[in-house]
Amino acid sequence: MGLSARQIREKLDLLVVGMTGLRDDGRFHEPNLDGTAGDYISFESWEWPQGVGLYGLIRLWLFTGRDDLKALIENWYAARIEAGLPKLNVNTTAPMLGLSVLWRETRNPRWQPVLDAWADRAVAEMGRTPEAAFAHHVSDKVNDDELWDDTLYMVALFLASYGQASGRTELVDEATRQFLVHTRYLADKKTGLWFHGWTFQGHHNFAEARWARGNAWITAGLLDLFDLADIPAPVKDFLTGVLVAQVDALLELQTASGAWRTLLDDPTSYEEISATAGFGYGLLKAYRLGLGTPEWRAAGFRAVEVLLANIDDSGTVLNVSYGTRMGHDLQFYRDIPIQPTGYGQALAILCLSEALQHVEGEVP
């Protein structure tokens, strides 16, 4: 394996610096539906990349016990809440996952009213598709009757996490339903991989893109779901089977470098590091939880090695594809630009934090 705990810890420190230093340089013009400017890069913004980023920081704090990380996280939430939260949608729900874990660990009463109110509104107000799945409505577009992989990580994990921590089992049940309905329409029975999206209006999977980061949200999301909440045994068994089918396909598609391509089964598409980090995290975590084989662990460490090679001296994760809307042809995915992002940093933090537990001998 050739990895040292010191090497991984140094990279983790750099990743935190890289994440908190992210700023929007105006490269992308993405106004919200209400006309305000969208910022999917700067650390201070309340959006889904930052939400995933905060979850990564919180996982790192829980693993290391670092007081500076805890203060950074608490100050971020306090400042954003004081400034006023944005309108509720799928993507603006993402930061609530980290806040739910923070509250679970600290039981600080300042956070619970915010969590309760957002959970109530998410269940009552969020757009629904047939079969009561959450439609992928986001800050800059209303995607009526559409299911996207991303929704499970941005919304369902929050409901599972907060429902478990607060004893609100109806929220865990809602999260479970979301995973089941999304599986029904997004999991590709032929390959075991997942399509990016589904529309009930046209009853199709758009470009039938087996998009890497969408699949990484599923690999990581299923393992985090099992970790965050008590799921009924038959449902957990079913979802474990879904995970195994996906990983069996992923193992065949890992490239010689240890990475995966942005279109998993398309050798003409570029290698993408945020998805690679997500897969590495999931594979190593699955092995630690007793769900994966030594082959999963070995593939996870190949992902770790290529991830480490893609973290520069400033702590920025390189070769991360920018936020990806639904593509109607496969070329759309090949053309997504490369851009450092909060989710790239966070998935790297999750992956290296998990790897550290293995390297330090806590996982046999």
Give tens-digit pLDDT for 100-126.
Answer: 999 999 999 999 999 999 999 999 999
Q: Where are the alpha helices (DSSP H) in the chain?
A: 5-20, 48-64, 67-83, 95-106, 112-125, 150-151, 157-166, 169-186, 212-228, 233-253, 273-288, 294-308, 330-334, 342-359
Residue pair 217/278 in contact (Cβ under 8 Å)? The answer is: yes
Residue pair 200/129 in contact (Cβ under 8 Å)? The answer is: yes
Q: What is the mean pLDDT of residues 158-170?
A: 98
Q: How many domains does the chain have?
A: 1
Residue 26 has pLDDT above 70, yes or no: no
Residue 30 has pLDDT above 60, yes or no: no
Return the pLDDT at 40.
61
Return the pLDDT at 38.
53
Return the pLDDT at 192.
98
CATH number reported for the structural domain that contains residue 297 in this entry: 1.50.10.10
For 266, the domain range is 5-361
- Measured in residues, the chain has a length of 364
Return the pLDDT at 97.
97
Q: What is the mean pLDDT of residues 223-248?
A: 97
Tokens at 323, concatenated: 């936020």
Say which residue, 184 or 20, is predicted with more confidence. Answer: 184
The 8 Å CB, 24+ separation contacts for 23-31 are: 27/339, 28/322, 28/339, 30/140, 31/140
Which of these ranges, 140-144, 241-245, 334-338, has the smallest mean pLDDT? 140-144
Residue 256 has pLDDT above 80, yes or no: yes
DSSP SS3 for 320: coil
Q: What is the mean pLDDT of residues 261-273?
A: 98
Confidence band, pLDDT 50/70/90 cuts, at residue 32: low
